[in-house]
Amino acid sequence: MRKKYIPDFLFSRAIDVPVSFYLEHNIKAVFSDLDNTLAAYHEPLPSQEVKDYVAALKEQGIDFYIASNNRGKRVNEYSKALGVECASMLFKPFALFFKRFIKSRGLSPIQCAMVGDQTVTDVAAGNKAGCLTILVEHLSEEKPIWTKINSSRDDRYRKKIMADKLSVDLRSGGKK
């Protein structure tokens, strides 16, 4: 398996990553995938739990952005309800647009974390951009047709990551 698909850390859910974790790793900005990472595909708006989590990050001076391959309308409505900036149609795993977005915010990749539920898009883009990468479990098994193409590879990579014991505990965020 290529190194670009291997996350730095694993957690159960995006909102399970403690704010202190980001502070300990000198992270100034968190970029999170939307679909199946922050919300299931059928959830149009953020839950109160997600809102509270993002508020806790902001209280500690950590910026939060949504970085999605989805179309603008869904991403814009969700991010507006959450009170954060977003970038849609990023074409992850390609890192070009993601790198541009990071640079446009005056950030260095080593100050950023990319959180997502797919190795072949989110983790690959984050690694190519030079960010700390965090892989989370899918929030739902529901997947639109366009993500099913990557799902079989993603499932194989996840099994290999777990078999190789690159992480000890999904809840505590074990290091590879």
User: Could you tell me the domains of the chain?
Assistant: 3-163 (3.40.50.1000)
d(CA 135, CA 169): 12
The CA radius of gyration of the chain, in Å to the nearest whole number, is 15
Residues 6+ positions from 13 with CB-CB distance below 8 Å: 136, 137, 139
pLDDT along the chain (176 residues), means of 10: 86 95 96 94 93 98 94 92 93 88 92 95 95 91 65 79 55 44
Q: Is 168 exposed, middle or buried (0-12, 13-18, 19+ CB in 10 A)?
A: exposed
Q: In angstroms, rounded to a whole number, what is the distance separating the alpha carbons of residues 106 and 96?
A: 16
pLDDT at 171: 37
DSSP H/E element including 27: none
Number of Cβ within 10 Å of residue 149's Cβ equals 11
What is the length of the chain?
Answer: 176
The closest of 40, 93, 87 to 65, measured between CA atoms, is 87
DSSP label at 40?
Answer: -
pLDDT at 21: 96
Yes or no: say if 69 and 34 are a contact pair by the CB < 8 Å rule.
Answer: no
